[in-house]
Each structure stands twice: as structure tokens, then as C-alpha cells.
Amino acid sequence: MSTELHETARALVAEGKGILAADESDSTIKKRFDSIDLESTEENRRAYRDMLFTAPGAEEYISGVILFDETIRQSSVDDTPFPKLLESKGIIPGIKVDKGAKPLPLAQEETITEGLDGLRERLKEYYDLGARFAKWRATYSISDTLPSDYCIWTNAHALARYAALCEEANIVPIVEPEVLQDGTHTIERSYHVTCRVLDALYTELFDQRVDIFGTLLKPNMVLSGYDAPNRAGADEVAEWTLKCFYKHVPAAVPGIVFLSGGQSDEDATAHLNAMNARGPHPWQISFSYGRALQAPAIKAWAGKPENVEAGQHAYYHRAKMNSAARTGMYAPEMEREAVTA
């Protein structure tokens, strides 16, 4: 197996760096634009991504960017294709390749992620367009009875099929099993469900001969449900999340790059920091945030060309805070210091 994969995987979790997830599907980016009253046209989506990708200095903290199919084919104002623009800054272009979570047949309220048909050919094209890593997201809901073993194992099988096809194409697969944290569940319940999901995932990855050294894991953090009473604080989140990973994630995995889910941007940073403060760990512990890197940026930009600099500043600031959280040296006071500096 080529070491290009290993090198790319390690570069994505280089010291102090993490990933920007800018791969929102058309329906998701529309929701984000609705929040600033902006129509989701192809040009507005291009202008928004252009603002993020040309942010001065972001490459100090950002190792890779996950793109959507439309975005990987778009260009900056000076006609530089986005993958080329990112590469010129030393940022690795990535691509979301799943086709979304669809209803799981013969199940209730569960999903299976689709997108395997034709994936081998699509990966070849994405490699030619510059992508060196990919993402596939499966989702699981928590209730008293869910997720079912059926949902856990069918999604694990699909994640492993995707990962094997990526490695064949010399593209690093980020495997993303997201246990959604909506609801009133306790942190213990989130822990048990996340453990079952990861156990199935690594069983399938081994069975399907995936080289684990050439992969990254993009999981949820183990949290109390967003509507639970007495939600766990950062220390408890770090303890339960690490306990789960120490039991279920092989040391061969070069890095764990968290998604932010519905956490506030500062919570996502504080939780990442609490985990790294307990290091060193067998894997790099980093971020692959969408909302937690972009929320203040989209608000500051608000779709107006005169706000591009303000949007870039907000994005740069969150990237810097999360970079600090990679070392366990983040403190909430840094949020204010950086703003007044």
C-alpha cells in the first residue's frame, strides 16, 4: 500500500492544525444563508467560499478543506480553481463523496448513507481535480431504543466500502459516524451508543482490508443530549469521550478530527482543549469543524462584499482558537484578548 496515503493523513493532523468542513450540500448551505437573509445562488455560494479560502493566514491553522461537488469545480475571482488556490497555500483539498443520509428501509426514523454506486469512477475524477482526501458521513439518532444494530452495522459496512474504494484511489478516507446529540439522553447513554458504533465501524474496516494508518476518524464528542437537564461540563465530556476512544479506536489511526455537531463554537473549542490537556494520546486529537469555524464568519460577512475582511477575520480567529485547543493551551480569556488586540 502506498505511503502517499499515510503522509496525507499525517499532514492533515499536523501540529497545531485542523480541517475546515466547507462541504455543505445545497440544502444545508441554503439553511445557513437563510440565517443572513441571502439567496442561495451558485454565485453567492462561490463568493462565500471564496471569502473563506482567500482568508489571509488561515493556512497557519488549517491543514485541509472539505469541498462539495459544486465547489471543487468553482474558481476564485481571478479564475484560479479552488483546489489550486488551496494547494498554493499549502492546504490540502478534500471532497465530500456521500450522497446523503436516506431513510433506512424497514426501519423507523433511522438512516442509511447512500453514494456507493459509481464511487470508484467519481473518486478518479476527484483525484484529477486535486482532492487528496474524502469524507463520508453516517448518522445515528439516540432514543431509549435506537440506534438499532441493523442501522449501526449497515452504516459501518457502507463506511468501510467507501474507505476501501478511497484507498484504492490514493485518497485518504475520513470516516464520519455521527451519533447525533439531539434529545434528552444522559452522557452515559451517548457513551454507550458511540462505543457500539465505533466497535462496528472498526470491525468492518478490518474485515474490508482498509489500511487504518491511511484513514482519519471524524466522530461526535460524547455529550449530554442538547435538551437534557444538568448537562455535563467540559471535564466530563473529555473524560467520557476519551474513555470511549481508548476502548474502541486503534492506535494505528493517525488522528481523530471532531465534528462540532450543534455545539456553540466556544464549547467546541473548550471541549477539544479539555481532551488535549489530558494528553499525550495515541492519536492526534484535532478538529474538522463546519459550523464551529464558520458561524461567526457567515454572520460578519452577511453576504456583503464590503464585509469580506470582517468575515475572514472572524474565521481566522476561530481557526486560531481551535489551534490553541490542539495543545490544551486554550483559555476563554483568549477570545477577548484576540478581539481587542
Total of chain residues touching ligand 13P, rule CB under 6 A: 10
135 φ/ψ angles, rounded to the nearest 5 degrees: -140, 140
124 catalytic per annotation: no
Sole binder of ligand 13P in the list 241, 260, 286, 322 (CB under 6 A): 260
Question: CA-CA distance, 110 to 336, in Å (whole number)?
Answer: 42
E-state strands within the chain: 18-21, 62-67, 92-96, 101-103, 111-113, 133-140, 172-179, 216-217, 255-258, 284-289
- Name the segment binding ligand 13P (CB under 6 A); options: 98-106, 109-117, 150-158, 257-265: 257-265
- Closest distance between ligand 13P and the C-beta of residue 19, in Å? 9
- Closest distance between ligand 13P and the C-beta of residue 135, in Å? 6
Is 261 among the residues that bind ligand 13P (CB under 6 A)?
yes
- Name the segment binding ligand 13P (CB under 6 A); options: 183-191, 247-255, 286-294, 320-328: 286-294
Sole binder of ligand 13P in the list 13, 134, 292, 308 (CB under 6 A): 292
Sole binder of ligand 13P in the list 259, 272, 314, 319 (CB under 6 A): 259
Of 17, 96, 135, 218, the catalytic one is: 218
215, HSE (Cβ side, Cα atoms, 13 Å): 31
Residues from 16 through 45 that contact ligand 13P (CB under 6 A): 21
- Closest distance between ligand 13P and the C-beta of residue 176, in Å? 6
274, HSE (Cβ side, Cα atoms, 13 Å): 20
The SS3 call for residue 112 is strand
- Name the segment binding ligand 13P (CB under 6 A); options: 125-133, 240-248, 283-291, 302-310: 283-291
Whether the link from the prior residue into 280 is cis, omega within 30° of 0, is yes
Of 176, 178, 204, 320, the catalytic one is: 176
Concatenating the DSSP letter of every residue in 48-88 gives HHHHHHT-TTGGGTEEEEEE-HHHHT-B-TTS-BHHHHHHH
Question: CA-CA distance, 296 to 71, in Å (whole number)?
Answer: 21
218 catalytic per annotation: yes
- List residues with catalytic annotation: 176, 218
State the residues that interact with ligand 13P by CB under 6 A.
21, 137, 176, 259-261, 289-292
